Amino acid sequence: MSGAARPLGRSAVICGIGSYVPPNLVTNDELSQHLDTSDAWIRSRTGIAERYVVSPGTATSDLAVEAGLRALKSASTEQVDAVVLATTTPDQPCPATAPQVAARLGLGQVAAFDVAAVCSGFLYGLASASGLIAAGLAERVLLVAADAFTTIINPEDRTTAVIFADGAGAVVLRAGSPDEPGAVGPLVLGSDGELSHLIEVPAGGSRQRSSETPPEPGDEYFRMVGRDTYRHAVERMTATSREAAELAGWRLADVDRFAAHQANARILDSVAERLGVPAERQLSNIEHVGNTGAASLPLLLSQAAADGRLTAGHRVLLTAFGGGLSWGAATLVWPEVQSV
């Protein structure tokens, strides 16, 4: 069952945004040199032409710090009351990565924690940050979504190695009123743990470590049941998008920009078609950055704001789907904010 949250008297308002991708660009042709694939095959099935990947020694926190710095600069602030990091690839299993990010950003001893919802992480993080502000626990929150997804991908698995990539996006949220531009509208979140096997890393957690059976070769890598994942992703993102729009009092025809998690071009096309969103209202960057996990949505918003595809006043519908299974959707009117 989905859980929906309506904005009350005190809402979280986006006042800064930034993003970062590592400098190492990998094209389809480069992947084809060691995988049984081709540029044409990858493009036709995923819509991806190139992606950015971390270099040896670069961790999720490095990406998060860069994106965080840019979001803080965009918001013209050097201080927040909390840091929320959405990620599937923390620097270590313990401790959480967010406190390290906060320290490296010079934010002092603020509250900081990780959110793990795979590719739905930004929306779950948005709910967490909004809750801190609505409860009066924070006036400003830095929400970062960052993943070094290629660190958990089997480089020899063409079903995942051609799709996933690395990057980070961040927003600064401040306390404000629900009727002003940038205010986070109704959030719809859901999950289905009975289908957790569709998207998983089997080894490395307490379940595997406490068993007497050693992990199977390859169990340390991310794996996904593609066909079933596709079906659930389309169904869940379509349904939650409709619900979020309805809670906001919008018709789908009112949506100026549709921003979906950049999972796969076929998934994006199917969801948009079901919602009746025309191509000119869809935001996409998957061709050039691939699937960046939790970072996907804020990276997309940041790049679209920077190149003029997303401007102040646009009514934006956001949706995502990820492991868990988890999914979500939200609405907002885009504010006057400069992407960095």
Catalytic residue among 15, 28, 119, 264: 119
Q: How far is CA 64 from CA 127, 131, 284, 293, 327, in A?
A: 19, 21, 21, 13, 22
Residues 130 and 187 sit within 8 Å (Cβ to Cβ): yes
Q: Which tokens belong to 319?
A: 């949706």
Strand order in the sheet with 326-333: 3-5, 187-191, 326-333, 315-322, 257-260, 282-283
Angle between helices 265-275 and 39-46 (to 10 degrees): 30
Active site includes 261?
A: yes
Catalytic residue among 28, 264, 285, 291: 291
Catalytic residue among 15, 261, 285, 314: 261
Tokens 């710090």 belong to which residue?
A: 65
Active site includes 291?
A: yes
Look up residue 215 and give its DSSP letter.
P
Q: Which tokens belong to 204?
A: 């490395």
Look up residue 245 and give its DSSP letter.
H
Catalytic residue positions? 119, 261, 291
